[in-house]
């Protein structure tokens, strides 16, 4: 499943590689949305993430680097609990993350 998400994210980023304009951003965002929904991410989370990524990328300047930074910062924002210090990255990759929850609570996505 992660291979599919990775290839979809890569496809979305490549849409901005050749043309850094609003149309390319729209295509990249559509690809990102499609891949997240296909990975069974809740539609409200996808809607919020897509809206924020598109807005942040437009504000920072449409381009591959800004698009990637926006995805990273918005995913971190969504996954961080208020009052929590956020992710603690390992000094040497990879960083291990434990996802715990009941059946059907979305751990896979």
Kindly report, residue by residue over 19-75, the tens digit of the pLDDT.
567 888 888 889 889 888 888 888 999 999 999 999 998 898 888 888 889 999 998
pLDDT for 18? 54
DSSP code, position 95: P
Q: Please report, for residues 39, 67, 105, 106, the alpha-carbon distance to residue 101 in angstroms, rounded to integers and kept in the order given.
A: 18, 31, 6, 8
pLDDT for 64? 84
What CA–CA distance (Å, rounded) separates 77 from 88?
14
Angle 2-18/22-38 helices, nearest 10 degrees? 170
Mean pLDDT of all residues in 62-90: 82
pLDDT for 73? 92
**Does the reported pTM lie above 0.75?**
no
Report whether pLDDT(92) > 70: yes
Report whether pLDDT(86) > 70: no
pLDDT for 8? 73
97 vs 105, residue with greater confidence: 97
- Domain ranges within the chain, ordered by starting residue: 2-79
2-79: CATH class: mainly alpha
Q: Which residue is it, tokens 């929904």?
A: 37
């Amino acid at each position: 499943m992660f291979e599919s998400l990775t290839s979809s994210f890569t496809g979305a980023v490549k849409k901005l590689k050749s043309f850094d304009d609003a149309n390319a951003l729209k295509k990249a965002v559509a690809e990102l949305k499609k891949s997240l929904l296909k990975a069974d991410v809740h539609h409200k989370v996808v809607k919020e993430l897509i809206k924020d990524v598109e807005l942040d990328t437009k504000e920072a300047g449409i381009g591959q680097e800004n698009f990637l930074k926006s995805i990273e910062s918005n995913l971190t924002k969504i996954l961080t609990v208020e009052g929590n210090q956020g992710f603690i990255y390992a000094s040497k990759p990879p960083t291990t993350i434990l996802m715990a929850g009941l059946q059907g609570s979305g751990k896979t996505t």
